[in-house]
Structure 1
Amino acid sequence: MGTRLKQGDVVLFQGDSITDAGRNREVGSDLGRGYAYLTAALFGAKYPEKQVQFLNRGISGNRVINLQERWQADCLDLKPTWVSIYIGINDTWRRYDRQDETSAEKFESGYRDILNRTKESLDAKLVLIEPFVVPHPEDRKTWREDLDPKIQVVRELAREYGALLVPLDGLFAAASMRAEPKYWAPDGVHPSPAGHALIAEAWLKAVEAEGC
């Protein structure tokens, strides 16, 4: 088992606070303290000869519309060869804390826009990470009504655009059978260190290649 990533590839992680993970935005090479950092660390240790560069441009609080607004500067201008997108939970969360709803249709339209712009401007491979929520605190259970259609959008777009998919919602649901949900995400959304490791492992599995 090898990897689809090739010598000298540039991987861009894009998304919200889960990707941001406290990175220093004044330092372009800073990867934060979450799954982006863990993914780069694990990959670099396993494949040092490939000299793959990892970048993180996640910004806390972002929704799809925010990615649209900054896609040129924070994606296309960086000319990555791999674009990993992890967005969607804030498109759901803002409905419940600010009554600022993003419909599944608007979510899909915005997501499709950044995918189209990426395809038009870059010869980059895509990795789509689906958003997740675990049932802790209790009110997170009501979010499923809003989040589930958005998860389906990500899955359908991955299929349509030939992207690799990191199926986090199912993975976190399964992990929550091994330890209580708050072990993986204390507020139901933001991963614990173990949760970030779960994402990193899933990302690396997604880019594995047979027979390499």
Structure 2
Amino acid sequence: MTITLHRSATVLFQGDSITDVGRLAEPDSPLGHGYVRIVAERVRSARPDSDITFVNRGVGGDGVSDLRARWRADTLDLEPDVVSVLIGVNDTWRRYEAGAVTSALAYESDYRAILTQVKNELDVQLILVEPFLVPVREEQWAWREDLDPRIQAVRRLAEEFDAALLAADGLLNQAARAAGDAAYIAGDGVHPTPYGHTVLAEAWTALAGL
């Protein structure tokens, strides 16, 4: 499905460092330097007569429970018209890097809770972006065991909440195969390169019919 960007809509992007990309560290760049900024530039170019507001509230290091904890202040209180969410890879990363386990069931429960809140309180359109991994190190292939159930959860939630789904995992892994080098898409397997962000932004704007 696609979404409709009304002329004066407020579009909110939520997530972790993949969404943040410098917006917290650089106050003069409130949209950061990743896919959010590229989306905003492309929409403004395609819709120069519109007054669409783009807001980035990504926070580096966040897992889904962190996002849930700040959901009211950083989402509900902003009263957006469109909410785009990309969260989950840190819940996987922490398992393998720090031994901190968030089950897929807990992940889906927290994710469902925030979507329920926003749907109950606001008239919004939702875009759910799959968490993704583009393995660049051999040991990262084992991470799929933890990440894949989270991707499946996002797909279920997109259906449940009538949200647009951006199937980012397959998209970026296919881009890596086409490029012949996973690091060309995500240098560490998790954080997209500028080209990876461009691929993600193109898919996001396609969901808006642009």
TM-score (norm 2): 0.95
- Cα offset, 1:94, TM superposition: 0.5
CA distance in 2, matches of 1:3, 1:102: 31
- Please give the per-residue CA displacement for 1:105-149, whole angstroms capped at 9, x wherever unaligned: 000000000000101111011000001101202211110000000
CA distance in 2, matches of 1:6, 1:49: 11
Q: Which consecutive aligned stretches of 4+ in structure 1 deviate over 4 angstroms post-superposition? A: 25-29
Cα distance in 1, alignment partners of residues 154 and 208 from structure 2: 17
State the distance in 2 between where 1:63 and 1:113 align.
14
Partner in structure 2 of residue 187 of structure 1: 188
**Alignment-mate amino acid for residue 39 of structure 1:** V
1:40 aligned residue: 40
> Structure 1 residues 27 and 76, CA, compared in 2 at 3 Å: closer, same or farther?
farther
Deviation at 1:29, TM superposition (A): 7.3
- The answer for the alignment partner of 1:87 in structure 2 is 87
Deviation readout 1:45-92 (Å, 9 max, x if unpaired): 111112110000000000000111000000000010000000000010
**In structure 1, C-alpha distance between the alignment counterparts of 2:83 and 2:26, rounded to whole Å:** 21
The separation in 1 between residues aligned to 2:64 and 2:169, in whole angstroms, is 18
- 1:17 and 2:17 correspond: yes
Question: Given residue 157 of structure 2, which amino acid in structure 1 is its aligned partner?
Answer: L
Query: How many Å separate the matches in 2 of 1:61 and 1:142?
Result: 21
**Residue in 2 that maps onto 1:159:** 159
* Alignment deviations for residues 150-209 of structure 1 (CA, whole Å, 9 cap, x no partner): 000001100110000010001012111211111000000000000000110010111228
Structure 1 vs Structure 2 CA RMSD: 1.6
Letter of the aligned partner of 2:192 in structure 1? P
Instruction: Say whether residues 1:207 and 2:208 are aligned partners.
Output: yes
Matches of 1:24 and 1:143 in 2, distance apart?
A: 28
Q: How many residues align?
A: 208
Aligned twin of 1:77: 77
Displacement of 1:24: 3.5
The unaligned stretches of length 5 or more in structure 1 are none
Report percent identity of matched pairs.
49
Quick one: which amino acid aligns to residue 135 of structure 2? P
Contact 1:29 1:55 in 2 (8 A): no
1:181 maps to a residue whose letter is A
Residue matched to 1:150: 150
Contact 2:61–2:90 (CA<8 Å) still a contact in 1? yes
Q: Give the whole-Å Cα distance in 2 for the aligned partners of 1:126 and 1:199.
A: 16
Note if contact 2:89-2:147 (Cα within 8 Å) is conserved in structure 1.
yes
